[in-house]
Structure 1
Amino acid sequence: MTSILQEAETRFIDSLRARYEADGFTFTAHPDRGDLPDFLGGYRPDALARKSGQNIVIEVKGRSGLADPRLQEIRRLFDGRPDWRLHVAVMGTDPLASVAIAGVEPAAIRAAVKEADALLAQGHRRAAFILAWSFLEAALRARGRAEVGRALSPGSVIQSLAMNGLIEADRERRLRDLIDLRNRIVHGDVEADPTTDEVELVLRTIDLVLEAEET
């Protein structure tokens, strides 16, 4: 089991490397102490990604590892360090499994968005909301900023959009605030119900991403 987990982490870190290097970062897995800033002390992250003005320390965790109290201690190391930030990269419960996702042309995504717009106009906000999130991931993939064949979590989609300058900080924050609502609906919370404005936020973000593809 240990070897399987190690293999899973290695593959996961390799997928992170591909993503960061595609975005112009220099990526170092399991960096040596000499590669790290002094303020990290004895903390050794799983990876380091750097480019001009951006330094990202990467800690890989399984979902159960998010409860690790040491994470709060690690986060505090970055207080007052605007040029450095911590990225806690979460592996799935079965990180060796994959879902084959094909790339889609922008025209096909625009046609699909019209379905969500129609659902919203008919008052089916929850259905429109979930479709909008799936089409947002498709739009990111159409921009060539997501690995074809690999499914992404909503948080990863938003992070990739922000890292690539496709959305501004305020929109990133507002979308992140909706992740919990999206997850509640997907996992069967029948009381969860997005507002029209919340659905529109996701749908219009798709428009922005696709427009950026053409500029």
Structure 2
Amino acid sequence: MTPSLRSRDGEAERRFVETLRARYEQAGFSFQAEPDADQLPDFLEGYRPDAIARKPGENVAIDVRRGPGPSEPPLPAVRRLFEGHPDWRLHVAFMASDPLKAFPIPRADPAEIRVQEAEVRALHAAGHRRPAFVLAWALLEAALRATRDGADRAHSPGTVVQALAMNGLVDPETERDLRALVPLRNRIVHGDLAVDPSDHDIALVLAAVRAVLSEEAVHP
């Protein structure tokens, strides 16, 4: 399999990897960027992650990518390498297309996301559908970030939906329904006062939030 290490915009990638190093070392991991083949387990079959992080009982292979669009090697093929190896997991870290515009966002606790879901329901019950809909989308991105493979960077709504689908956190029907709501969300956020989400639209986004939080991929 083609190694994942890529030469594009190497300085930006190195800066991004250093932010990952700080986060993992703070969590008690040792961190190695651009690991050599002899530092990797045999089951990776030639795939070379951009970094690895280790601590007793937990090993992480880190694959840095520009975004959740098509790239080499394909993520599904990479993920299959880790099947049957519970002591290793894959962390796909997405870089912003413009690293200078990227800003870190801390992971939200799933319990806090659930608390704020109640706020969305209260807004909705009071007839404030537009703010309820926008906050529901914010919770969906927070839920993505709470997963093991979630990146600590802001994403566009379309990127959030694509990342959820690629990581198997929502089913194809939900992906399709959410993607259809992205233009509505954008119009509301950017000041189109002539559009209004339906009750079903809000319920759909909240259902996706609950689906993501129910996955084993979410941190405890």
Q: Tell me, which stretches of 5 or more residues in structure 1 are unaligned?
A: 1-5, 19-23, 30-45, 55-88
The 5 A counterparts of 1:13-162 are 47-50=71-74, 94-148=98-152, 150-162=153-165
The whole-number CA distance in structure 1 between the counterparts of 2:76 and 2:132 is 39
Distance verdict in 2 for CA 1:124–1:96, change over 3 Å: same
SS at match of 1:96: helix
Residue type matched to 2:199 in 1?
A: T
Distance 1:90 1:102, change over 3 A: closer
Cα shift at 1:47 = 4.7
Q: What does residue 196 of structure 2 align with?
A: 193
User: How many angstroms apart in 1 are the aligned matches of 2:101 and 2:133?
Assistant: 26
Aligned Cα root-mean-square deviation (Å): 3.3
Percent sequence identity is 43
Which structure: greater helix fraction? 1
Any conservation in 2 of the 1:137–1:157 contact (CA below 8 Å)? yes
1:175 counterpart letter in structure 2: L
TM-score calculated relative to the size of structure 1: 0.59
Residues 8, 176 of structure 1: alpha-carbon distance in 2 compared, 3 angstrom cutoff = farther
Gap regions ≥5 residues in structure 2: 1-7, 21-43, 51-69, 79-93
Give distance in 2, aligned partners of 1:90 and 1:190.
33
Write the distance in 2 (CA, Å) between the matches of 1:130 and 1:8: 36
TM-score (norm 2): 0.58
* Contact in 2 for aligned 1:27/1:50 (Cα 8 Å): no
Give the count of matched residue pairs: 149
Runs of 4 or more, structure 1, over 3 Å off, are 6-12, 26-29, 51-54, 89-92
Query: For 1:174, what is the secondary structure of its paired residue?
Result: helix
